[in-house]
Structure formats: structure tokens, C-alpha cells
Amino acid sequence: MVPSTILILIVVIVVVSYLFDQLLDYLNLKAQRTDIPEEIASFYDKEKYVQSLAYQKTQARFSFITAGFSFLLSLSMLLLGGFGWLDNLLRPAINNEILLALVFFGVILVISDLVTIPFQWYSTFVIEEKFGFNKTTRKTFISDKLKGYLLGAVVGGGLLSLLIYLIQTIGPHFWIWFGCTAAAFILLVNMFYASLILPLFNKLTPLADGDLKTAIEAYALKVNFPLGNIFVMDGSKRSAKANAFFSGIGKKKKIVLYDTLINNHTTEELVAVLAHEVGHFKKKHIIWSYLISIVQVFFLLFVLSKMVFNPGLSVALGGNQQAIHLSLIAFGILFSPISGITGLLMSLLSRKNEFEADAYAKETFDGVALAHALKKLSVDTLSNLYPHPWYVYFHYSHPPLLQRLRALETDFQFKLLPEKLYDSRKFILAMMVLTITSYFSLRIPPHIFWPATFLSYGFPLLIVANFSLFIYTLVRKSETAFIWLFLFLLGTPCLLQSVQINLYKNTKGTIKVLSYNANLLRKPHVRGEFSPEITNWITSDTSSIKCFQEFNTHSTNQEFNVEDKLTKLGYKSFIFKAYTDLHRKPGMAIFSKYQIVNSGILWQDRRTVNAAIFADLKINGSIIRVYNVHLSSMNLRARPSGIFGKIYYVFQQLKNGSVKRSQQLNFLVEHMKKSPYPYLVCGDFNETPFSYVYASMRSELTNAFEKRGNGFGFTLNQKPYFLRIDHQFFSKGFTLQKYTVDRTIKASDHFPTYGYYLLP
């Protein structure tokens, strides 16, 4: 994709996102009603409710202004090349890429914050103060800003430096290592937030002895909650709004209560609020949220690894060269539609969790006291009692107040679906983890982590399963249908690699390239006996370039002396002979109607015909390189005794084969990167599109089947038949006009593949 197209896509995403958000804000504003709901009428007087409506309108109108300003600023930076301009300004003075990125983002973040400070100031000291919420002093406002800058520089700068360092040193596999770092970091924040970060901004004081502390400790003992310390936070230092939470993942939890919460609620209501928070712990919401967030992080980093090395991202933002920091900005915008979908799913899960936590508080303490606490909190914060359903669906992490009150009164339990397998929460989470993990496994080198191989084998089955579940739940009008659709859509990029429709067939002026595993030119199921059918077909084929895996020739029997026959037809050749007996010379071969100016062997397996060779061909004054590859076979021909012996044997062969092919691929890729010429890669890779080898080749080159193929392109002429393991790839410069698999040639256990290329 060219930089101009990338920029257009980025701008479209920014514009559509802004318009959609404004539409939701507008609908939410228009959904306001002047009548007070019966459920909360005793807590709201008319004057207070009118003040609530005024607060919502003021906030909405101010949001329109701030969002519009931010949108115009972002759009201007994109269209005028502001990000690229800043990179070009800083680059001459800073030679280190990590330092350059730190300064770049530092300048961007500080300037954007300074530009929006008037809006922040107005929101805090005008709007919030007008409605009685603001308690922040000018000194606290400035102090918070400086502390935020310092914390961002230390934590954010450290993580950014590590990310760029891993990108530079490890390459495309950086996402695995940084994902592990991010997982550890998120865990540490959850464990020590109240101990290390919160005290930088607020004062935590142990809750004094008294009725409240006694009631909390009694409840914690009753439900076996691992209570540690109970703190009161000076939330009134900044706002009159209230909250409560606990932190820590270990055996002891720290309870934090805002002083504003304690001042405005009874002991029973405060314990009910705490019971709600304990419900999150008991229902394992925190653990599941952490695990899902880790999956999201790994997914984001994986997608980033496929885009960050594309120089077009940097050029699209106005840069003159590839810059990781520019690519990160472009990626952040391009990824936002996907993050919007995952955020939507997380909001749905969060609202479900809130209902469950409310139900737990009702079951273990007092539903009436919790309802009173929720009503008071809503009145005190002037919350919106009638939010628009669309706004709730896309933005609310907590259910609206009226829904929570009705759930407490009617024993309503929010479920993703009734207790059926396809609606089971555990089953859904298991399928999510399996699907996403298997998707990631396509990018993990088996020689580094061999279990990834077996995860990738299950990916096609998971795609089919997710699609089937989507159709089934859609017909049954199940609420989980969109979850199965999301999981299916995750796999569609790989699925689309396996089926193609191409009507373009103009082969005029092309060079025809054949790639064929000739099965050592043997008769089917007969070892050591040459097949006249294969030898005659090979010599009659009119391709200008022929790449044979498992090639063979007979030096004394002229009928099967394929090398001599093709030489007499004007072909030049480079043949790798794995080993030579009296008359036969099995191995690999490249035959060409054009002059071979150079050739060589990349690697070879001892005593097998598996190898990688290349030949440089001079065509009309230009030189191209042709690779012929045969990666390690599965070799499942042995028949060990016993069911467990057979299982173990197959397991070992699959494992060892994938590890060996991964290592062989590394040799090939490194050699390709050093090629001074455009190149083609033909061969029997013994890997399907759902594999690390295929994904790695595809990331470097264009696959011929995906470009000009038709149907499924299966190349295997033996059980299980429905596999495409023979491939042709090509580098930039070539133009592929047509690609076919000739399934009429059944003399070997593979079908021949043809590519019709226009040369660079």
C-alpha cells in the first residue's frame, strides 16, 4: 500500500471516528427527560434534578467544543505533515533512534497538553466548581501536572525505550518479548498501585477504629475475604465525587475508601459498597480481566510487528525516511477500529461483571443498603438517569443506575446467554484464548518454541468451529452470536490466503515457470523403478524454467536420462545430487532455457533429497535469481507397534519436522535478503498457509497463488489431498499474470504448479 493511500485511510478513520462519537454524544444529550424516575424520586428533589440536567447539558456542549478542537488539531497535523515535520526538525540534532523517539513523543505530548490546558482549567475551575464538585486548588492542579509529566517520563519513557530497543535488536519477533514485559508490568501495577503510585497524588490514612471498621472486618471474616489494610483517601482534595476500590492480587487486599464516600453514607451503605467490590474478587472478575487484557496486548503487539517495519507508514505522516515513532502513531490510528471492537466487548463484559457483583452484595449482605448507596452516589454526582441505549452500549463500563436497581429488586442476573455450551462463559473464554493463541502461533518460530506448531495445526478447525457457532447462535437469536462472529473474523485474513478467485489470464510475453515434486521419477508405490509417464511428461513440458524437487536421472538408461534429454532440448541446468549410486542421481534440479551465470547450494540434509539451491539466470540482459527449495518432510512412513507408540512417533515426527523446517527457513531468508537480483522461490515447503514457515515467507514476498490463483490450489496427490504445501513466491519487480495447479498430472504424489511472470 502506497503512503498516499495509507494517509487517506488514516484520515478516513479519524473523521469517521469523530463523527460517530459526536453522533452518540448528540443522541445521549437528546435522550434527557424531565421526569424523575419513581425508583429514585425519594432521593431527588425537583431543584436537584434540574441541576443534574443542566450539568449534563453543560458537559455535553463543552465536550462538543473540546472534541472539535482536538479533531481539527489532529487533522491538521495529518494533512500538513506535522508529525513528519517534527521528525525532520529533530533528526539532525539526535542520532540515537531511542532518544529521538523519546524527545519526539515528549514534545508531542507536552505541547498537546499545554494547548488543551485552557480547556482543562475551564472544566475544573468553572464547570465543576459551578456545580459544587471542584475542590482542587490552583496549586494542586499545577502539582498534579508536574507529577504526571515526571511519572510519564519515567514509566512511559522506560517502556517506550524498551519497545524500540526490542524492535531494533530482535526484529519482527519483538512482540513476544515486549508482550511478556507488558504482562509483568500490568501485574505489578495491579499489585502495588495503592502503595507506590497513588501516594504520589493523594494521602492515604488508615481507617480509624470504630463502627465502620468493625463492620467491614466482620463482613470480610464472614465471606472469607483476605482483608489487609483499610485506608481513607483524601478524595475531597480534588472533588466532591466519591468512590471505593481495593488493590492487590495476593493474599492481602488493600481497601481504599474516599473520604467523600464515608461522609455521605451510612455504615450499612458503605459495607454494601464494599460487598460489591468483594463480589468482583469472589467472581474472579479481576483475574479474568487481567488475562483478557494480556491477550489484547499480545494481539496488538503482534499486529504492530506486521506493520511497524513498513516505511510507508512514516512517509504517510510526512517523514522522509522510516521512523519507528512515526510508525507507532500511524499504527495507533489504523488499529483504532480493532481496538474499538475489543473495547466494546470489554464494556459488555464489564457491565455483566457489575451485575454479578451487585448480586453478590445482595446475597451476602444487603441489597436494599446497596440500592440506597447507588441512589445517593447518583444524586451526589448528578449522573444521567436516562442515557441513550447506543451511548450505553458503546461507552458505559457500568450499567445505568435504573438497570442496576431493577436487577437488585427482581433477582435479575445478566448472562452472556443461558447455561448451554455455546453460551457458557467458560467455553467462550476458552475458545477466545484458543483462537487468539493459535493465531499468534503462526508467528512463533518452532525452533524457538515448538508447541506453537501444534497450536497452528488447530487454527483451521477453530475458524470452522467459530463460523458454525456464529451461524447456529444467529439462527437461535443468541446474544453471543457477535462474539463468534468476532472470533471468526479474526481468522479471515488467514482463511482468505487459502481460497482465491482470479479471472485474469493474459499470459502474453510471460515466462512460464514450473515447480514440481517429481517423486524421484518413480512409478507410484514402486521403489527404485522409473516411471515412463513422468519422464515423458517432464521432457514434453514447455516451461522456460523448471524447478524439480525429488529429481532423478538415470545415467546409463537413455529412456530415463532426463538430464541428457533436457540438455538436448536446449536447457541449461544446475543439479544438486544428494547422493549417487551406480546409475541414479537423486536430488534437486533447476533447468532453464536461459544462461545460468551463477549457482549454488544453500543447505542440504544428509542422506536425503531435502535441500535449497539457486541459479542466477541472464534473460534479455537482466539477471534474476531462482531458488528451488525442498524443506524437511514429515516422514510418517514408519509403523511402530502399539497405539501409544504410534501416537508418540507421530508427535515426534511433527515436532522435529517443524523445528527443522523453521531452521531451514532461516538459512533461506538470510540468503534471500542478500540477493543482488530480483528472485523467485519455488518448491515443496511441506507447510500449509497455516504455518510459521508460510507466514514468514509471505511477510517477505508475494505468494503466487494468493495473487493469481483460483480455488483452493491443493497440491498434494495423496491422503489427505486437501493440502497446499507446494508454493511459488516472488520478490518486488516481478509481475505475475497467471498461476495454476495442474491436477491432471497424477504421476507423482504432488501436482505441478505454474507461474506466468513478466520480468522486472
What is the Cα–Cα distance from 377 to 242, expressed in whole angstroms? 7
pTM value is 0.59
Cis check for the bond before 720: say yes or no (omega within 30 of 0): yes
Q: Would the pLDDT of 419 be above 50?
A: no
Q: Is there a contact between 619 and 509 (Cβ–Cβ < 8 Å)?
A: no
Q: Would the pLDDT of 636 be above 70?
A: no
Q: Would the pLDDT of 531 be above 50?
A: yes
CB half-sphere exposure, 129, CA atoms < 13 A:
11
DSSP for 244-274?
Answer: EEEE-SSSSEEEEEEHHHHHHS-HHHHHHHH
Buried b (16+ CB within 10 A) or exposed e, 390-422: ebbebbbebbbbbbbbebbeeeeebebbeeeeb
What is the Cα–Cα distance from 667 to 612, expressed in whole angstroms? 9
Mean pLDDT of the chain: 86
Q: Would the pLDDT of 240 be above 80?
A: no
50 CB contacts (<8 Å, ≥6 apart)? none
Q: Would the pLDDT of 337 be above 90?
A: no
Place of cell 459551578: 130
CB half-sphere exposure, 515, CA atoms < 13 A:
26
- Looking at residue 491, its pLDDT comes to 79
Q: Could you tell me the pLDDT band of residue 653, with boundaries at 50, 70 and 90?
A: confident
Name the residue among 708, 758, 715 with its Cα closest to residue 503. 708
Q: Could you tell me the pLDDT band of residue 411, with boundaries at 50, 70 and 90?
A: low
700 in catalytic set: no
381 membership: H or E segment, kind and range: helix 367-381
- Looking at residue 86, its pLDDT comes to 94
The segment with the largest mean pLDDT, out of 120-134, 305-319, 589-603, is 589-603
pLDDT tens readout for residues 479-522: 777 788 888 887 777 777 888 877 677 888 899 999 999 988 88
**Beta bridge pairs of residue 315:** none
Q: How many CB atoms lie within 10 A of CB 503?
A: 6
Average pLDDT value for residue range 216-241: 85
753 membership: H or E segment, kind and range: strand 753-758
- Looking at residue 505, its pLDDT comes to 74
Q: Is there a contact between 278 and 362 (Cβ–Cβ < 8 Å)?
A: no
C-alpha cell at 87: 521528525
Q: Is there a contact between 301 and 175 (Cβ–Cβ < 8 Å)?
A: yes
Q: Is the dihedral of CA 506, 507, 510, 511 positive or negative?
A: positive
Between the CA atoms of 168, 169, 175 and 178, what dihedral angle is there, to the nearest 10 degrees?
-100
Q: Would the pLDDT of 642 be above 70?
A: no
Q: Could you tell me the pLDDT band of residue 164, with boundaries at 50, 70 and 90?
A: very high
What is the Cα–Cα distance from 379 to 50, expressed in whole angstroms? 11
Q: Is there a contact between 583 and 577 (Cβ–Cβ < 8 Å)?
A: no
Average pLDDT value for residue range 648-665: 86
Q: Could you tell me the pLDDT band of residue 1, with boundaries at 50, 70 and 90?
A: low
Q: Is there a contact between 296 and 344 (Cβ–Cβ < 8 Å)?
A: no
Higher local confidence (pLDDT), 470 or 419? 470
Q: Could you tell me the pLDDT band of residue 584, with boundaries at 50, 70 and 90?
A: low
Write the DSSP symbol of residue 522. Answer: B
Name the residue among 582, 581, 515, 526 with its Cα closest to residue 550. 515
C-alpha cell at 265: 453514607
Q: What is the 3-state secondary structure (H, E, C) of 350-365?
A: HHHHHHHHHHHHHHHC
212 membership: H or E segment, kind and range: helix 211-222
Percent of the chain with pLDDT over 90: 34
Q: Would the pLDDT of 527 be above 80?
A: no
Q: Could you tell me the pLDDT band of residue 622, with boundaries at 50, 70 and 90?
A: very high
The dihedrals phi and psi of 245, each to the nearest 5 degrees, come to -165, 170
Q: Would the pLDDT of 582 be above 60?
A: no
Sheet with 587-592: strands ordered across: 572-577, 587-592, 545-551, 511-517, 753-758, 735-741
pLDDT tens readout for residues 721-760: 788 999 999 999 899 999 999 999 988 889 999 999 998 7
Q: Could you tell me the pLDDT band of residue 325, with boundaries at 50, 70 and 90?
A: very high
Strand segments, DSSP code E, in 377-425 are none
What is the Cα–Cα distance from 632 to 637, expressed in whole angstroms? 14
Counting other chains too, the contacts that 408-416 makes at CB distance below 8 Å and 24 or more residues apart are 408/358, 408/359, 408/362, 408/367, 408/370, 408/371, 409/367, 409/371, 411/359, 412/355, 413/355, 413/356, 413/359, 414/351, 414/352, 414/355, 414/356, 415/352, 416/352, 416/479, 416/480, 416/483
What is the Cα–Cα distance from 320 to 311, expressed in whole angstroms? 9
Strands 726-730 and 735-741, how do they pair? unpaired
CA distances from 592 to 91, 563, 596, 615, 693 (A): 49, 12, 8, 9, 27
- With vertex at residue 544, the alpha carbon angle to CA 541 and CA 546, rounded to the nearest 5 degrees, is 70
Q: Would the pLDDT of 421 be above 60?
A: no
Name the residue among 209, 115, 102 with its Cα closest to residue 158. 102
Q: Which one is catalytic: 87, 269, 277, 563?
A: 277
C-alpha cell at 467: 463460523
What is the Cα–Cα distance from 609 to 550, expressed in whole angstroms? 6
Q: Is there a contact between 736 and 727 (Cβ–Cβ < 8 Å)?
A: no
What is the Cα–Cα distance from 522 to 358, expressed in whole angstroms? 73
Average pLDDT value for residue range 399-406: 88
Q: Which one is catalytic: 87, 356, 358, 706?
A: 358
Q: Would the pLDDT of 208 be above 80?
A: yes
**Beta bridge pairs of residue 545:** 513, 592
- Looking at residue 511, its pLDDT comes to 94
pLDDT tens readout for residues 3-19: 887 888 899 889 989 99
Q: Is there a contact between 59 and 123 (Cβ–Cβ < 8 Å)?
A: no
363 in catalytic set: no
Name the residue among 710, 713, 712, 759 with its Cα closest to residue 736. 759
pLDDT tens readout for residues 30-86: 888 888 887 777 777 788 888 888 998 999 999 999 999 999 999 999 999 999 999
